[in-house]
């Protein structure tokens, strides 16, 4: 499994702009082959922070996802609202 967390620290007051379009991105992504889960969350400790958690069957499925027009469009659109973005690949602890 290929799993990761993306944490976006938004410019103040822009979080809701990203959240308005996130459900559309979520629906399109969940329909892709190899997508196990695609969820987004708001941080209760920081109103300007969003967390996206994605799980894929393998890296090839995620690579396919990154080439989709809807993915490229969503990323290009929300980048204007970032103060910071952190991408972390994670594994189940054993």
Do 64 and 33 touch, CB atoms closer than 8 A? yes
- Name the domain count of the chain: 1
Range of the domain at 47: 2-90
Integer Cα distance of 35 and 22 in angstroms: 16
CA distance 17 to 10: 10
**Model-level pTM?**
0.89
Question: What pLDDT does residue 74 have?
Answer: 94
- pLDDT attached to residue 6: 96
Mean pLDDT split into 10-residue runs, the chain, 94 residues = 94 94 96 97 94 96 96 94 94 79
Q: Is the dihedral of CA 51, 15, 77, 71 positive or negative?
A: positive
pLDDT at 94: 75
Instruction: Supply the CATH number for residue 69's domain.
Output: 3.30.70.100
């Amino acid at each position: 499994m290929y799993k990761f967390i993306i944490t976006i620290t938004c410019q103040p007051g822009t979080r809701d702009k990203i959240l308005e379009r996130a459900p559309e991105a979520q629906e399109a992504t969940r329909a892709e082959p190899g997508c196990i889960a695609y969820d987004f969350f708001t941080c209760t400790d920081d109103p300007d922070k969003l967390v996206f958690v994605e799980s894929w069957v393998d890296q090839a499925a995620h690579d396919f996802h990154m080439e989709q027009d809807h993915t490229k469009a969503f990323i290009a659109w929300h980048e204007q609202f970032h103060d910071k973005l952190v991408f972390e690949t994670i594994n189940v602890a054993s």
